[in-house]
């Protein structure tokens, strides 16, 4: 393997990691506030659809992204109403959201565009273009560092940079701001937060809606940056991989990035390993690599490699004492 | 706020779900109007499709059979305080057990061979699917990982295993599609249409008898056995179960095992009876619908039977929608999602207003309610 093969593998890793990372951080905000979110998949899918429809109709990727975020937030609001206001079961709400997104996107897509659920091809400007960072081509000649900069760091879609910048931002928000402190507290001990005179409901809504925004961005990335248009069920389980990554990272932002990078790398490897004979082990079935994130998460949760314990108040609706 | 009295039982069991269901249907009607269809015409088509003629009824019963199994699977776990979200994967992987036994004994060549093969295939399916639920149960009981997350992960692992098995192991060399060899003899479960012409070409089959037996068996298990009592104790109050000398970890594993075994019966209903071979994704979301069925049925076999019929009718009616009115089959998924949302997650939507309404019924009840709530404040 020469350096360019390695770089292209890493480049693919970054591209495949981005939607996972955005969805994973979405789950992080939500679950850190004590609201389980297995509806990441559905919110992402709905966001992808919204973004593709608006981008196709207006020809503006930015408006598309905004629409994706709007749809993501709308679905997050459903989750918020069900699990915060009505104190319903957060898991069931997530299941419903996943189904609703899968059904509605195909149904509306088919009845609006009649292309088997796909949205029309994006017009000029409807899709994000890769961003060349300054001096990318000039520096490409420098050995090792040059190609790394020009191939790996430069030349991605804006949402890739947003996703990776969200990691330090989330770290800062979570551990260095008052909002973050309260967010972490409300996921561990909502009663204490309530006793301090802070609204549990408001905090949890904020967290759930932030998750909606991030899922919308993840969806927009899939349909109008990485892909060109929406296809049926295009998230294909990424929301659940993101959930697995979140647990793998023990609900912390920086490890979340590494977990997503690991799962993105596995995804990139899986395409390259098809039909390749490896020394000693021979051919690795694609399915084994596909199942690896889930297996790793189960093993981690079971405490065989470290221990993952979620926010203590997770999944429990908060009822003020009367 | 605090002066509310709890709803009478009939309102809690029937009225509230009915209102939630109605709201789900109203919103489904709005969705239909958005895509420019007449919701009343659609409702008419769906009801006729589900109940209007023999074949439709046969399909409705066939789908309802699946939903009885997954509904019971979720309910049994729920009685023990566990949320089995993995019925989908358990039913899927159970197909391996069912097909291996059925293919092995397919050419047995004795009269009524299916009477031997079907029970054996059921045991094999239940063993595989039960194991697929038992492991998450074990991991929760002994290693403290949450059964919800583990079963979600197990759904995906099952899916990967099945793709591998169908492509690499079970596929005969002569076929191109990822599917097992086809059953031709005793491995097939007989269709009811072989006995009643009424059902036309509908796939309703002998498995429906298993479903009815399962409903009765779960009723007896939960309310008339020591094990059921222990499971309900665990579900209501785990520490009480410990003080009563029950082994919580043992109960968790048993409950999950039974739950997975129940879900596994879908493999008989779909693989042995209808497809006659193992195919990809034959579970098609039935496992997740089981959550809604159990919820609407209030985890009680009678409720589950009714809810399963409702969802069966919804599925078959939805097929009729796509054939007669050209509405995409995904409409079923939308209705299903709305039913899960309103009868499940937003179950409490009408409760406060209903409680107020019932409290207004009589002043006597009102004083009673106030007395009760002051003596015993709601938590």
Residue (of A244, A255, A242, A247) closest to A308 by Cα position = A247
> Is A156 part of a structural domain of the chain?
yes
Q: What pLDDT sits at residue B379?
A: 44
DSSP B345: I
Q: What pLDDT sits at residue B367?
A: 64
Average pLDDT score, chain A = 87
Shortest distance between the Cα of A82 and any Cα of chain B, in A, equals: 5
Q: What pLDDT sits at residue B369?
A: 61
**pLDDT mean over B301-317:** 93
What is the spatial distance between Cα A61 and Cα A223, in angstroms, rounded to a whole number? 10
Q: Is A116 left (phi over 0), alpha (psi -120 to 50) or beta?
A: left
> Is A273 part of a structural domain of the chain?
no
> Is A264 part of a structural domain of the chain?
no
Chain B CB contacts of A118 under 8 Å are none
Are A93 and B341 an interchain contact pair (Cβ–Cβ within 8 Å)?
Answer: yes
Tell me the per-residue pLDDT of A172-191, one tens digit each, with 9 for 90 and over. Answer: 999 999 999 999 999 998 88
Chain B CB contacts of A237 under 8 Å are 156
Chain A CB contacts of B134 under 8 Å are none
Shortest distance between the Cα of A75 and any Cα of chain B, in A, equals: 12
Q: Is B36 on the interface with A (CB under 8 A)?
A: yes
**Token pair for A120:** 């029309």
**pLDDT mean over B352-364:** 74
User: Does A14 have pLDDT greater than 50?
Assistant: yes
Q: Is A107 on the interface with B (CB under 8 A)?
A: yes
**pLDDT mean over A163-178:** 94
**pLDDT mean over B317-340:** 87
> Is A165 part of a structural domain of the chain?
yes
**Token pair for B227:** 């094990």
Chain B CB contacts of A112 under 8 Å are 35
**pLDDT mean over B307-316:** 92
Q: Is A115 on the interface with B (CB under 8 A)?
A: no
Tell me the per-residue pLDDT of B173-198, one tens digit each, with 9 for 90 and over. Answer: 888 888 888 888 888 888 888 888 88
Asked whether the CA dihedral B273, B274, B280, B283 is positive or negative, the reply is negative
Asked whether the CA dihedral A265, A37, A218, A176 is positive or negative, the reply is negative
Q: What pLDDT sits at residue B130?
A: 96
**pLDDT mean over A8-19:** 90
Residue scoring higher pLDDT (A239 or A144): A239
User: Does A152 have pLDDT greater than 60?
Assistant: yes
Percent of chain B with pLDDT over 70: 94
Residue (of A11, A30, A45) closest to A264 by Cα position = A11
Residue (of A242, A233, A287) closest to A261 by Cα position = A242
Residues 157-186 of B with CB under 8 A from A: 157, 160-161, 163-164, 168
**CA dihedral defined by B268, B92, B343, B31, rounded to 10 degrees?**
-100
> Is A315 part of a structural domain of the chain?
no
> Is A295 part of a structural domain of the chain?
no
What is the spatial distance between Cα B332 and Cα B279, in angstroms, rounded to a whole number? 22
Are B344 and A110 an interchain contact pair (Cβ–Cβ within 8 Å)?
Answer: no
Are A106 and B145 an interchain contact pair (Cβ–Cβ within 8 Å)?
Answer: no
Shortest distance between the Cα of B148 and any Cα of chain A, in A, equals: 8
Q: Is A74 on the interface with B (CB under 8 A)?
A: no
What is the spatial distance between Cα B149 and Cα A299, in angstroms, rounded to a whole number? 12
- Number of folded domains that form chain A: 1
**Range with the poorest average pLDDT among A117-126, B62-71, B341-350:** A117-126
User: Does A142 have pLDDT greater than 80?
Assistant: no
Tell me the per-residue pLDDT of B131-186, one tens digit each, with 9 for 90 and over. Answer: 999 999 999 998 888 888 899 899 999 999 999 999 888 888 888 888 888 888 88
Tell me the per-residue pLDDT of B257-292, one tens digit each, with 9 for 90 and over. Answer: 999 999 999 999 999 999 999 999 899 889 988 988
Contact A121, B369 (CB under 8 A): no
Are B143 and A303 an interchain contact pair (Cβ–Cβ within 8 Å)?
Answer: yes
Residues 297-356 of B with CB under 8 A from A: 328, 330-338, 340-341, 344-349
Chain B CB contacts of A308 under 8 Å are 145
**Range with the poorest average pLDDT among A5-14, A67-76, A296-305:** A296-305
- The DSSP secondary structure of B83-139, one letter per residue, reads ----HHHHHHHHHHHHHHHHHHTTT---TTTHHHHHHHHHHHHHHHHHHHHHHHHHH
User: Does A307 have pLDDT greater than 80?
Assistant: no
Q: What pLDDT sits at residue B1?
A: 43
Least CA distance to B332: which residue of chain A? A103
Q: What pLDDT sits at residue A131?
A: 80
Shortest distance between the Cα of B223 and any Cα of chain A, in A, equals: 25
Shortest distance between the Cα of A117 and any Cα of chain B, in A, equals: 10
- The DSSP secondary structure of A60-110, one letter per residue, reads -HHHHHHHHHHHHHHHHHHHHIIIIIS---HHHHHHHHHHHHHHHHHHHHH
Q: How many CB pairs under 8 A join A and B?
A: 154
> Is A162 part of a structural domain of the chain?
yes
Tell me the per-residue pLDDT of B99-111, one tens digit each, with 9 for 90 and over. Answer: 999 999 888 878 8
Residue (of A86, A85, A96) closest to A37 by Cα position = A96
Find the domain containing A197 and state its range: 14-235
Q: What pLDDT sits at residue B188?
A: 86
User: Does B349 have pLDDT greater than 90?
Assistant: no
Least CA distance to B136: which residue of chain A? A298
When pLDDT is cut at 50, 70 and 90, the band that residue B11 belongs to is confident
What is the spatial distance between Cα A148 and Cα A159, in angstroms, rounded to a whole number? 20
Q: What pLDDT sits at residue A1?
A: 57
> Is A201 part of a structural domain of the chain?
yes
Query: Which of B145, B286, B332, B350 is the best substitution to test chain A (most A C-beta atoms within 10 A)?
Result: B145
Are A97 and B341 an interchain contact pair (Cβ–Cβ within 8 Å)?
Answer: yes
């Amino acid at each position: 393997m020469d350096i360019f093969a390695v770089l292209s593998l890493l480049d693919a890793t970054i591209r495949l990691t981005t939607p996972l990372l955005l969805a994973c951080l979405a789950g992080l905000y939500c679950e850190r506030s004590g609201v389980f979110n297995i509806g990441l998949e559905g919110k992402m899918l709905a966001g992808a659809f919204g973004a593709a429809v608006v981008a196709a109709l207006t020809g503006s990727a930015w408006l598309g992204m905004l629409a994706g975020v709007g749809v993501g937030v709308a679905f997050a609001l459903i989750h918020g109403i069900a699990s915060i206001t009505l104190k319903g079961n957060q898991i069931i709400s997530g299941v419903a959201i996943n189904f609703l997104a899968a059904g509605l996107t195909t149904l509306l897509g088919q009845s609006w565009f009649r292309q088997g659920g796909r949205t029309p091809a994006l017009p000029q400007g409807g899709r994000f273009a890769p961003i060349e960072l300054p001096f990318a081509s000039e520096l490409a000649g420098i050995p090792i560092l040059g190609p790394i900069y020009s191939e790996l760091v430069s030349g991605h879609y804006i949402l890739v940079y947003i996703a990776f910048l969200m990691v330090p931002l989330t770290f800062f928000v979570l551990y260095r701001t008052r909002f973050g402190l309260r967010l972490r507290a409300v996921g561990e001990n909502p009663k204490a937060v309530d006793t301090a005179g802070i609204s549990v409901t408001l905090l949890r809504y904020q967290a759930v809606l932030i998750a909606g925004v991030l899922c919308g961005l993840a969806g927009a990335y899939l349909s109008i940056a990485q892909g060109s248009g929406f296809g049926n069920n295009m998230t294909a389980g990424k929301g659940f991989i993101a959930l697995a990554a979140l647990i793998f990272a023990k609900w912390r932002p920086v490890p979340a990035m590494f977990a997503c990078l690991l799962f993105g790398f596995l995804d990139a490897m899986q395409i390259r390993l098809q039909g390749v004979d490896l020394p000693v082990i021979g051919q690795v079935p694609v399915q084994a690599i596909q199942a690896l994130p889930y297996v790793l998460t189960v093993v981690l949760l079971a405490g065989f490699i470290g221990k993952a314990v979620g926010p203590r108040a997770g999944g429990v609706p908060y009822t003020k004492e009367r | 706020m605090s002066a509310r009295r709890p709803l009478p039982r009939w309102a809690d069991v029937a009225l509230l779900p009915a209102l939630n269901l109605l709201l789900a249907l109203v919103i489904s009607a709005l969705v239909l109007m958005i895509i420019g269809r007449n919701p009343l015409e659609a409702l008419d088509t769906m009801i006729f499709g589900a109940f209007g003629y023999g074949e439709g009824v046969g399909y409705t019963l066939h789908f309802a059979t699946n939903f009885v199994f997954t509904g019971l699977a979720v309910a049994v776990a729920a009685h023990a305080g566990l949320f089995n979200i993995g019925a989908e994967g358990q039913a899927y992987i159970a197909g391996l057990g069912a097909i291996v036994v059925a293919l092995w004994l397919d050419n047995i060549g004795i009269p009524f061979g299916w009477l031997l093969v079907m029970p054996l295939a059921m045991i094999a399916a239940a063993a595989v699917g039960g194991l697929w639920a038992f492991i998450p149960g074990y991991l929760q009981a002994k290693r403290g990982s949450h059964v919800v997350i583990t079963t979600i992960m197990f759904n995906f692992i099952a899916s990967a295993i099945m793709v591998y098995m169908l492509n690499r192991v079970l596929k005969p060399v002569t076929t191109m599609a990822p599917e097992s060899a086809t059953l031709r003899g005793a491995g097939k479960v007989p269709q009811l249409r072989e006995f009643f012409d009424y059902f036309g070409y509908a796939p309703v089959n002998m498995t429906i008898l298993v479903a009815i037996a399962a409903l009765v068996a779960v009723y007896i298990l939960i309310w008339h056995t020591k094990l059921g009592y222990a499971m309900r104790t665990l579900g209501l109050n785990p520490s009480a179960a410990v003080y009563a000398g029950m082994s919580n970890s043992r109960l968790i594993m048993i409950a999950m095992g039974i739950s997975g075994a129940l879900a596994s019966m879908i493999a008989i209903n779909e693989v042995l009876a209808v497809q006659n071979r193992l195919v990809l994704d034959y579970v098609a979301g039935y496992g997740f619908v089981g959550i809604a069925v159990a919820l609407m049925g209030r985890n009680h076999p009678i409720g589950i039977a009714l809810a399963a019929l409702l969802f069966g009718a919804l599925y078959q009616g939805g097929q009729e929608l796509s054939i007669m009115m050209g509405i995409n089959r995904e409409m079923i998924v939308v209705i299903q999602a709305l039913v899960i949302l309103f009868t499940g997650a937003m179950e409490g939507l009408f409760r406060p207003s209903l409680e107020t309404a019932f409290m207004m019924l009589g002043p006597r009840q009102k004083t009673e309610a106030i007395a009760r709530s002051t003596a015993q404040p709601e938590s």
